[in-house]
Amino acid sequence: MKFQVLRNVPAESLTSRVRPAFRDRIPVIRPDDMACTLIVFRFQRDEKASGVVTSNAVKQALNRLGDVPNQRILAFAGDFTQEARALLKENRIEAVTLTYFGWTDERYAAIRNPNSG
């Protein structure tokens, strides 16, 4: 899954850096939030692509992210699997999603590839 890491995004310009669908889901900006780092996972709202991000994709993003001292980090996606959410939380990254279905990595893989079992 493709993603972008946007570093040092001024807090006042967060809404212009994410898709319109996420704008009303951005967490409240705290007074000490001068800038944020964003991880924006790509997805399309059609039947060909999914907005569910698995733990493997989050691990890739964490590797690319590296150390981000003293900045709030927000991750945007259609949804995250339970394992992906746990990894984000472990790394103090806030998940911002459009839906929550509660998929596990295993269950989501089974649904995506029903003939692989």
Give the CA distances from residue 91 to residues 68, 80, 87, 108, in Å, rounded to whole numbers and listed in that order: 10, 15, 6, 23
pTM of the model: 0.88
Q: How far apart are CA 44 and CA 75, in angstroms?
A: 16
Domains of the chain, by residue range, sit at 3-111
Q: How confident is the model over 2-26, as pLDDT tens digits?
A: 899 999 999 889 999 998 989 999 9
For the stretch 85-111, pLDDT in tens is 999 999 999 999 999 999 999 999 998
For 15-66, what is each residue's pLDDT tens digit? 999 989 899 999 888 777 789 999 999 876 554 446 899 999 999 999 999 9
pLDDT at 100: 92
Fold topology of 3-111:
Trna Endonuclease; Chain: A, domain 1 (3.40.1350)
